[in-house]
Amino acid sequence: MKIKNNINAAYFFLAPALSAIFIFFFIPVIAAFIMSFTDFDIYALGDLSTVRFIGINNYLKLFDDPLFYTALQNTFYFVIMAGPLSIAVSLGAALLLNSKLVKYKAIFRLSYFIPVVTTLVAVAIVWRFIYHPKFGIINYILSLVGIAPIDWLGDTATAMPAIVLMSVWKSFGYNMIIFIAGLQNIPEDLYEAASIEGATGWQKFRSITLPMLAPTTIFISLITMIGYFQFFAEPYIMTQGGPLNSTLSIVQYMYQEGFKWWNMGYSASIAFVFFFIILLGTIIQLKIQKSTE
Amino acid sequence: MIKKYLLYAFLSVTSVITLIPFIWMLGASFMFDGKASVFPPIFLPDPFTFTQYQILFERLNVWRNFFNSLILSSMVTVLYITFTSMAGYAFAKYRFRGKKFLFNLLLSSMIIPSQVTMLPLFLLLKSMGFINTYMAIIIPGLANIFGIFLIRQYCISIPDSLIEAARMDGATDFQIYRKVILPLAVPILVTLAIFSFLGTWNDFLWPLIALTDDSMYTLPVALANLMLEHTKDPELMMAGSVVTVIPVIIVFLALQKYYIKGIMMGSVKE
């Protein structure tokens, strides 16, 4: 860089954004970490002097808390079901839209993508009625093939799968766009060479498309996993975490402990376990990425 | 040929299936009470009515929440673009001590989920008297690392010679940023502006925590609250959902090119 350097100007440009991030992001992260070692509760809100350091007691309590395990289990169940399903659907949609046979791609792409930009709370409410046991569209469609009405959101066995289906519908369009970009980056002559050697469509998909898409797929897995791990509004709106806590998510449990019961110290320890799991997942995915390169 | 028609048929059917929730939402929002709670479900309102919207805006004062959402999303977007564009430009074109360290620190902090900050942030804003005010939403939205990163990437591609030429003409650092950099960076700024606007408009968890009064709620929080009292009024709830969703769909349709580009840019950063 040859441009004349004015240090003061650099600091002037950086100061607003960096001070905002420092004061309202970094300091709260550190404060949350410290809080997780205290018994910060509703009394502390009124009188800070009641706060005491209690070491790792919050974390010990957490590992003895059946509701925490339930939330953790639900969250993993959600991520493991919705993640791969969403990736598969988005890859399928991307492959179809990338086909040379198709014109008017923009229209199809748009209708697949609309759910992504719309407000989660609003569409979760719509889906609540779509899953309605008496009048819902889903049960109507099932009734056409003779299946008796199912109380989707009211049954512990079906509530989470119902939320999974809605979440896949809401977000597959996002990954589809990234997959389309990935597909367009695969050199055309690879396919031509394979065709000359008589490869079938499936063979081309297996030995050209999938390997060439590997970096894209890893990236998508990572952002999908992180995004789904934070799910909150879906159960909050559709089931309130029920029935019998079968859809209670980690973030929802953190929210309840922290902002409903004001057990903020305890809630902070949930937040850090949550962060730790995301961190671990990211490291694993990055390791996989390194090994594929 | 047959393959082609099958493909079109499949794409059309799945597109319609994807849109069915919206079609039903729109239809039900124009129905009288109870008309959407029938079996089999109907999609077309007969008779057609604006009753639900009237209840929503006249009795439930949802226009307050609509304006809260609109004002907050606009204000956050303007400030966010200003803050991140300045910082992104500085990271791209200036040399200063600790730049590399600072930048790497920011990059690696992108992994920290915002939920981790919420408890202390609530207490901090409470001590400043900002809880249940617009400031509670604006302040955490002022800047984020992702935006700084994206703008930096974009500014790096702007040739130094343009900056040099402006400096020769006697432009100050701020004038260069304002008159040279910003106009060139419009595409990335539009992209980030859409992300910021839609992100603020659609956000739920933080507004749910930081806004405590009906009249201060943004649309999603107001809607979630309404849902608790009107579980049995699908027609009214659908009107509320339409009001919430239509503005984001309009913004998206108008600027979708930039939005789609933004997703692709975010995805190649690794």
In a domain, residue A283? The reply is yes
Partner A contacted by B117 (CB < 8 A): yes
User: Of all residues in chain B, what percent are helix, strand and coil, respectively (each to 5)?
Assistant: 75, 0, 25
pLDDT of residue B149: 94
In a domain, residue A260? The reply is yes
> Around A60, how many Cα atoms within 13 Å sit in the side-chain half-sphere?
7
Partner A contacted by B57 (CB < 8 A): no
Please give the tally of structural domains in chain A: 1
Query: Stretch B2-26: mean pLDDT, rounded?
Result: 93
Q: What is the pLDDT of residues A17-63, one digit of tens each?
A: 999 999 999 999 999 999 999 999 999 988 888 999 999 999 999 99
Q: What element of type H or E holds A22?
A: none
Residues 225-254 of A with CB under 8 A from B: 226, 230, 232-233, 236-237, 251, 254
Domain of residue A104, residue span: 59-292
On chain B, the residues whose CB falls within 8 A of the CB of A115 are 18, 21
Rounded to two decimals, the ipTM of the complex is 0.93
In a domain, residue A99? The reply is yes
Nearest CA in chain A to B27: A126
Q: What is the pLDDT of residues A70-123, one digit of tens each?
A: 999 999 999 999 999 999 999 999 999 998 888 888 899 999 999 999 999 999
pLDDT of residue A228: 96
CATH topology of domain B61-267: MetI-like fold (1.10.3720)
Average pLDDT along chain A: 93
Which residues, 6 or more positions from B68, have their beta carbon under 8 angstroms from its beta carbon?
A: B134, B216, B217, B218, B219
Nearest CA in chain B to A135: B39
Name the more confident of A15 and A200: A15
Question: What are the residue ranges spanned by the domains of chain B?
Answer: 1-49, 61-267
End-to-end CA, chain A? 31
Name the more confident of A2 and A109: A109
In the predicted structure, residue A155 carries a pLDDT above the cut 50: yes
Mutate which: A87, A119, A267, vs B, most B CBs within 10 A: A119
CA pair distance B18, A111, nearest whole angstrom: 7
CATH for A256:
1.10.3720.10
pLDDT of residue A200: 86
* Percent of chain B's residues with pLDDT above 90: 84
Q: What is the pLDDT of residues B73-109, one digit of tens each?
A: 999 999 999 999 999 999 999 998 889 999 999 999 9
**From the centroid of its chain, how far is CA A265?**
25
pLDDT of residue A4: 56
Structure tokens at B253: 């349709």
Name the more confident of B263 and B239: B239
In a domain, residue A114? The reply is yes
Strand partners, A38: A53
In a domain, residue A97? The reply is yes
pLDDT of residue A2: 42
In a domain, residue A230? The reply is yes
Taking the alpha carbons of A42, A46, A48, A52 in that order, is the dihedral positive or negative?
Answer: negative
Nearest CA-CA partner of B236 in B72, B67, B28, B74: B28
Structure tokens at B210: 């930081």
pLDDT of residue B27: 96
Query: Stretch B110-117: mean pLDDT, rounded?
Result: 95
Residues 144-203 of A with CB under 8 A from B: 169, 174, 177-178, 181
State how far the alpha carbon of B198 is from the alpha carbons of A95, A138, B77, B195, in Å: 28, 29, 9, 5
Query: Stretch B48-67: mean pLDDT, rounded?
Result: 94
In the predicted structure, residue B270 carries a pLDDT above the cut 80: no
In the predicted structure, residue A1 carries a pLDDT above the cut 50: no
Strand partners, A53: A38
In a domain, residue A240? The reply is yes
